[in-house]
Chains A and B, each alone.
Chain A
């Protein structure tokens, strides 16, 4: 299938986040990760549990298969069978994430959402991040407020920051000191470009090209999951 958009590549990269997840609750924040979770459910990960973002677990046919109000989400967080894909106003080389505030927390220059569930998510179960606009203001040397906990501050037995998917690349922390590593660049993106858009040096040894979605995946994305192509507004090609 021709004319694959950058957004579609990102959706497939987000689907790949859930490889091997099995009967795990996928909690994607944002459109592209949501499409990725639902794509994984329809293809490689049929056992994945996907919520409607409110209180219900839905099958691919949108029938209700479970009830998961916020209080029960917190139970799943503590229980650990969950993979959250959160946004990040800032993220640093060890995967610390900030969605709380920019500047001094006592009197921020820009108040954001607050800690939300980031501290609990990152200490309890697998966490990935989705950054639709990869740039030096997001990928910072040091986050202003640590909401999601990175590898240099990780405590407890369940900390697991998996990957960061952006509009330019896929990154992970599979290095000896868990510093961020460039895994793959999306087709048409260079390693230099990703580095230029990142405020700290990336580990960039064996960088590959992010895979294209398969014909089956493209068909599902375009006709079933997102027929109005809202994904192309979250990520421009």
Chain B
């Protein structure tokens, strides 16, 4: 079996200007921050970022990496709003596709299933469709004839996710309570990279915690603490102190360079 171990820098070396990058986790939970950090150190730009957004989005906006953002929300959970995301939006610095969370999921699922779209009710009547006129509706071909949103596939060039454990072949395990959507991100992407707290020879715990198998993964990065200050339970909870420092620095241009240097290490 193939040994897929790589460095974070090797992973982001394959990310080119203009690519669409999906980032796993949810809000400020189990974000692949080691991979995001590596991406921040590159000169890559004009990315389309697809994320249930947390500080990954804020940091990439701060670094000017984002041309377009696809999201249902951006939040730090215990801090409602990410200051860099707010600033990017309020200065008109980025294009956006703002979706309902369920539309986001079904868009990834359509990509994962190699379908052009999947139908969903979410979005009807709301302003999602007003600000995203490219999203169309379809009518049920059956007797009910109901109008539904035809959520287009959210196809990704690259998926970046962080799990608790992985083996060198790309099988990977989550040990927290929620898989989030990391498997869908991988299935929706052409190239799939998982960072993990620890590379293991054998997995402990119930096999249904093995969220990713090796045909869903192209590269494995061992990155202890790789979710940064976001949570990666049970290995560690969110580092609320460091998150507060991030949010405070993000709201203060004088503090930011110092924080950012320390953050990138």
To the question of whether A and B form a pair in one complex, the answer is yes
Which residues does A use to contact B, with CB under 8 Å?
Answer: 54-56, 67, 69-71, 74, 77-78, 100-101, 105-120, 122-124, 145-149, 153-156, 158-159
A-B pair count, CB < 8 Å, reads 129
Residues of B within 8 A of A70 (CB): 26, 101, 178, 180-181
Q: Among the listed A112, A120, A159, which residue makes an inter-chain contact with B102, where contact means beta carbons less than 8 Å apart?
A: A120
Please tell me if the beta carbons of B123 and A156 are within 8 angstroms of each other in the complex: no
Residues of chain B from 157 to 187 with CB closer than 8 A to chain A in the complex:
177-181
Q: Among the listed B73, B86, B90, B147, which residue makes an inter-chain contact with A115, where contact means beta carbons less than 8 Å apart?
A: B73
A159 to B122 Cα, complex, angstroms: 11
Q: Among the listed B89, B124, B177, which residue makes an inter-chain contact with A111, where contact means beta carbons less than 8 Å apart?
A: B89
Q: Among the listed B71, B90, B100, B147, which residue makes an inter-chain contact with A109, where contact means beta carbons less than 8 Å apart?
A: B90
3 nearest A-B pairs in the assembled complex, by CB-CB distance: A120-B122, A114-B73, A55-B177
Q: A55-B178, A78-B121 are in contact. Are A149 and B126 (CB under 8 A)?
A: yes
A157 to B124 Cα, complex, angstroms: 12
Interface majority SS on A: helix, strand, loop or mixed?
loop
Does B92 interact with chain A (Cβ within 8 Å)? Answer: yes
A56 to B100 Cα, complex, angstroms: 23
Q: A113-B75, A117-B102 are in contact. Are A71 and B179 (CB under 8 A)?
A: yes
Residues of A within 8 A of B102 (CB): 74, 77-78, 117, 120
Residues of B within 8 A of A67 (CB): 177
CB closest chain-B residue, reference A143: B127
A56 to B121 Cα, complex, angstroms: 26
Please tell me if the beta carbons of A113 and B81 are within 8 angstroms of each other in the complex: yes
Q: Among the listed B72, B91, B120, B181, which residue makes an inter-chain contact with A114, where contact means beta carbons less than 8 Å apart?
A: B72
Residues of B within 8 A of A119 (CB): 100, 103, 122-126, 128
A149 to B126 Cα, complex, angstroms: 5
Does B28 interact with chain A (Cβ within 8 Å)? Answer: no
Residues of B within 8 A of A123 (CB): 121-126
Q: Which of A77, A119, A154 has the most CB of B within 10 A?
A: A119
New A-B contacts (16) at CB < 8 Å, excluding given A105-B98, A117-B101: A67-B177, A108-B89, A110-B90, A111-B81, A113-B74, A113-B75, A113-B80, A114-B73, A116-B100, A119-B122, A119-B126, A120-B121, A122-B126, A123-B124, A149-B126, A155-B125
- Nearest CB in chain B: distance from A105 CB, A: 5
Which residues does B use to contact A, with CB under 8 Å?
Answer: 26, 53, 71-75, 80-81, 85-86, 89-92, 98-103, 105, 120-128, 130-131, 146-147, 177-181
Residues of B within 8 A of A114 (CB): 53, 71-74, 98
Q: Which of B80, B121, B130, B179 has the most CB of A within 10 A?
A: B121
Please tell me if the beta carbons of B90 and A100 are within 8 angstroms of each other in the complex: no
Instruction: Pull 9 A–B residue pairs with CB atoms less than 8 Å apart, ordered by A.
Output: A69-B177, A70-B101, A71-B180, A74-B101, A114-B71, A114-B72, A115-B72, A156-B121, A158-B121
A118 to B75 Cα, complex, angstroms: 15
Please tell me if the beta carbons of B146 and A101 are within 8 angstroms of each other in the complex: no
A115 to B149 Cα, complex, angstroms: 16
A123 to B209 Cα, complex, angstroms: 33
A78 to B90 Cα, complex, angstroms: 33
A154 to B123 Cα, complex, angstroms: 11
Q: A108-B90, A114-B73, A115-B72 are in contact. Are A146 and B123 (CB under 8 A)?
A: no
A231 to B136 Cα, complex, angstroms: 44
Please tell me if the beta carbons of B127 and A146 are within 8 angstroms of each other in the complex: yes
Residues of B within 8 A of A117 (CB): 72, 100-102, 122
Q: A74-B101, A117-B101, A119-B103 are in contact. Are A153 and B125 (CB under 8 A)?
A: yes
Residues of A within 8 A of B75 (CB): 113
Residues of B within 8 A of A115 (CB): 72-73, 98-101, 126, 128
Residues of B within 8 A of A118 (CB): 100, 126
A119 to B148 Cα, complex, angstroms: 13
Q: A78-B102, A123-B121, A124-B121 are in contact. Are A56 and B177 (CB under 8 A)?
A: yes
